[in-house]
Structure 1
Amino acid sequence: MEGPVEGSAGARWFGEVRAFAVRHPRWVDGALAVAVGVVNAHQALDGSGAAGVGCYAMVHLILVWRRAAPVAVFWSVFGLSLLTLLIVGIRVEGLYPEAVIAVAVYTVARHGPLRQLVPIIAVVEALGLTASLVAGPQWTAIGFVTFGLAASVLLGLVVRTRRAYLAGLEDRARRLERDRDQRAEIAVAAERARIARDMHDIVAHHLSVMVTLADAATLTAGTAPDDAVAAMRHVSGTGRQALGEMRRVLGLLHADPDPRPGPQPQPGLADLDALVAGVRAAGLRVEVTVEGVPGELGAGAELAVYRIVQEALTNVLKHAGVASRAGVRLRYAGGRVELEVVDDGSGAPGPAGVPGDGRGMTGMAARAAAYGGRFVAGPRADSPGWSVRATLHGGGEDGGGEAGP
């Protein structure tokens, strides 16, 4: 048990140190300058005098700004190193000034513009080669300078490439996260729009039928009480049906992983007869014509057909009245369905007729478009009535657009 705890504590400590280094890079560079200066101080400063100590301290102090101005820091370190060696005349030992120059070269390769590396490498290599040849052919020294310079450059380039790669991965992860959030928002908006269309269709249709039946019951209560009772029974049945459909639609908003009553299917082509029967019970005369045989439209496309017919008949009740005649034609062919709902406009809107807000037309057009179809609605050219035409293409079990819950 102690191993994981110690490892976790070490990981947390390393993370805190790294976070501090990211927040305060100048402090890290200062600590590096002090460490490099301390390594060779006892050899490089032995008998150097005040001028030597000043140059030695200045060369290392400049490293504090190495990330902010890597090229300028290199040339400053390089120039002061030459000043220390040639003018001040210090007899240096150890790795001074090679260690400071190596840090400056690494910084240019890591943080600076890469085009500046070529002249820097050429100058350092030329100086090392010249110094070794002047003092006599010292091939070991030449190799040490060459390999040290190459190591500094390669290390800087490797770290630079790795950081760029990690930064690219982090940027890609952020973009993927944003895309995921946007897709989730779009999906939520589409689902809300679909539920809103379903709620509009359910409420508008059933309430129109219920109001029409209630008005009929009111008018016949005194003269034909049996008819009034039958009409009110239809009102009750229509209300229960509306409540059931609303529960199914609103049930999509609840994330119950194990609902007791299994999810009930949304209405489809098999429910069109019951829909027409309910409208006829409200007093509207409806004729249905079916051509062809329904193919595999899918549950989503069947729901869209049902809702379009439902909304069209509701509009007939609201705007043409129960005294008019309506016709529903369904034609199945080639994996698609063509539907048409028309009325003759012979009636007049009853109390159920209320000004529309356009949501019904928009919802029907959206349902048709979701299945690669088209939607046209407008006054009939051959009579005072209104016509609604739509074409929907099937797409298998789930269709090509919105699916039922």
Structure 2
Amino acid sequence: MMDVPLSPGYPASVVGGELRLPKPSGVIRQFWTRHPWLTDSLVAALYFVPSFIGNLSLGVADVAPVALALQLGAIAVTGGVLLFRRHRPWLVLGAVWAFFLIVCLWGTMEVLPILIALYALAVYRSTKAAWVGLGGSVVVATFCAYISTWINRSSLIAPSDAPAPTSGAQFATLMFTATLMLTATLIGVTVGNRRRYVNALIGRAHDLARERDQQAQLATAIERSRIARETHDIVSHSLTVMVALAEGSAATVERSPERAADAMRHVADTGRSALDDMRRMLGVLAEPVSVLPALSPQPDSAALPELVEGFQAAGMPVRLTTTGAPVSDPNLQLTIYRIVQEGLTNAFRYAATADRIDVSVDHHGDGVRVEVVDDAVSPTTPALKGGGFGLIGMRERVALYRGTLEVGPRQGRGWRLSAVLHTDDNAQERTEGTT
């Protein structure tokens, strides 16, 4: 990662890596980019030193001391103002115009400062500002040409023996000066447009890098949420069944040892099944693709009878009813299975006194309705309390299919869980995966 900005005003690095579009500047250009004040100082010195020495040596014999001091002072001020060409180009151009008006009193035209100012305006402001500055500079140069011609002819400041310039010569000088200004402006516009284009590309590259990192973080959060739901469904369901069966076997071991033994064997089978599911899930997360354990498909609607039989074996009076043609979407089938699993697990926790628990899965034209209803007189205090994550997970699953979830007590007695899932093609993109 580079420590030097790719372009002024943009950071050298971004989160997650740097997109090198376009190629950064070379070593020499990067040096001048890192030291803008040094660059501006050299530009100002390249104008000030030759101009000051030249006017001082040539003006000692021909110009009055006061006029010479005024001219040299104007050169010095202009050289100092050029230091700010990068940061205040309009201010620099205005100061150069004022200097232009001063030196034309001696019949000369100092064009170099105005060329530097026009170039800086085009590079560090905008193309529109450059053309406006060029127009103003041409107007100032034209005015100065006429002032200089009038002063030379009247011999107010210039020496009396100096030849007065002709109108043709003055016009040619003006055209040459305007051509130089136009050239400086065109060069500045070209360099400025390229600079702005490169900065825009680099800024876009940084934006893409940030967007890439944000998308990666969002995908990570979604995947974590999915893994948390799956882990909760596996662990919560299996541990609830195991705890209930273990307590039941402990209570009946003296009265009915055979029944207690069957219950403990069921506990062992449930634990092994949960352990296999967790091993497969953690293996996908931790192991390379080449050493992944044997995978098995996620449960679907066809696994509902087996799920119900497991709860029936644990002593729950569960009945399953399905209507309509099953959906073909495996992700939707997994969602249906997990909702039924969570509903029966909650019933196992809180509705141990229920005489009947009905599970219905109704497939209709554009969706599926899943209901888990019990007739328990009042909720019981479970040995293993839930933390509310199952309900959160069900709401997330239902939201993926633009569905609705209703959980609450029934009128009279019992508890009801009802979920409606939509199967139309406009449903949101599924984030459910397979393990």
When normalised by structure 1's length, the TM-score is 0.82
Superposed displacement of residue 267, structure 1: 1.6
Cα 1:197–1:60 shift into 2, 3 Å: same
Matching residue's letter, 1:313: L
- Alpha-carbon distance, 1:345 to partner: 0.6
Tell me the equivalent position of 2:285.
253
2:19 is aligned to none
Secondary structure of the 2:363 match is strand
CA distance in 1, matches of 2:31, 2:145: 37
2-side partners of 1:300 and 1:132: how far apart? 89
Number of residue pairs aligned between Structure 1 and Structure 2: 384
TM-score, with normalisation over the residues of structure 2? Answer: 0.77
Query: Where does residue 337 of structure 2 map in the other structure?
Result: 306
The 3-state SS of whatever aligns with 1:321 is coil
Alignment of 1:234 onto 2:263: no
Distance 1:74 1:346 in 2: 90
* Structure 2 residues without counterparts, runs of 5 or longer: 1-22, 151-164
Quote the RMSD (CA, aligned, Å). 3.2
Give 1:6's aligned residue. none
CA shift for structure 1 position 13: 12
Gaps in structure 1 of 5+ consecutive residues: 1-11
2:364 maps to a residue whose letter is A
Match of 1:124 in 2: 141
Distance 2:374 2:220 in 1: 37
Question: Who is 1:213 aligned against?
Answer: 245
Matches within 5 A, 1:245-394: 245-254=277-286, 256-296=288-328, 298-321=329-352, 324-346=355-377, 349=380, 352-381=382-411, 383-394=412-423
| Aligned with residue 107 of structure 1, among 95, 98, 120 | 120
| Counterpart for residue 99 of structure 2 | 80
Q: 1:219 to 1:58 in 2, by over 3 A?
A: closer
Residue deviations 1:245-291 (CA, integer Å, cap 9, x gap): 22333345336232332433222212212211111111001111111
Q: Deviations over 1:129-179 (max 9, x none)?
A: 776895331354343222211122223333333333333333333333333
Structure 2 CA distance for aligned equivalents of residues 202 and 178 of structure 1: 36
Which letter maps to 2:207? R
Task: Write the deviation string for residues 97-148 of structure 1: whole angstroms up to 9, x where unpaired.
Answer: 2222211222233335825554333212443577689533135434322221
Contact kept, 8 Å, 2:141 with 2:174, in 1: the verdict is no
Change (3 A) 1:104 1:260: closer
CA shift in 2, pair 1:75/1:332, >3 Å: closer
Q: Work out the CA distance in 2 between the residues paired with 1:362 and 1:193.
A: 10
Distance of 1:385 and 1:112 partners within structure 2:
74
> 1:163 is matched with which residue?
195
Alignment partner of 1:137: what SS? helix
Say whether residues 1:173 and 2:202 are aligned partners. Answer: no
Structure 1 residues 338 and 387, CA gap change in structure 2 (3 angstroms): same
Question: Could you tell me whether the CA contact under 8 Å between 2:51 and 2:75 is conserved in 1?
Answer: no
Aligned-partner Cα distance in 2 for 1:20–1:214: 76
| Distance of aligned partners of 1:106 and 1:255 in 2 relative to their CA distance in 1, 3 Å threshold | farther
1:300-322 Cα shifts (integer Å, max 9, x gaps): 21111111100100111100116
Q: Taking structure 1 as reference, are residues 112 and 263 closer, same or farther at Cα in structure 2, changes over 3 Å only?
A: same
Query: Following the alignment from structure 2 to structure 1, what is the Cα–Cα distance between the partners of residues 80 and 386?
Result: 79
